[in-house]
Amino acid sequence: TTVAGATTTSAKMRTFQALKLKAVHFTVVTSGTAAGHGYTIQEGTTSIGGVVMGTNTSGYSTSVDMSHEAIAAGAAVSLLSLADVVGVVDAVLEFETDKAAVVTK
């Protein structure tokens, strides 16, 4: 679950091996009060995708296809909120293990 607040980082995770980000799924928990309720999907500080939720009501769901975006081992993946200060979503980051990646033991 994300936290309310404009330009706030949420849902941060760090990978231990190379992964492929297949999709990010969003469900509104608390409706945003502005058209700018949304999120930038980031690897480190680089934007790799995004979604605008606007003022959709609680329970509204949508997904962003990430087309198997390559995520480097040790990279941080997070969501950065846009302009809305109220909206909150549940977010699921759907990954696939990069079968060519070296597994740390």
Mean pLDDT of 53-69: 95
- Other C-beta atoms closer than 10 Å to the C-beta of 74 total 12
CA distances from 11 to 1, 2, 6, 101, 105 (A): 7, 6, 15, 24, 25
* pLDDT score, position 70: 93
Q: Quick one: pLDDT band at residue 102, thresholds 50, 70, 90?
A: low
pLDDT top residue among 38 and 105: 38
Q: How far apart are the C-alpha atoms of 47 and 77, rounded to whole Å?
A: 10
Please state the pTM of the whole predicted model.
Answer: 0.88
Mean pLDDT of 7-18: 87
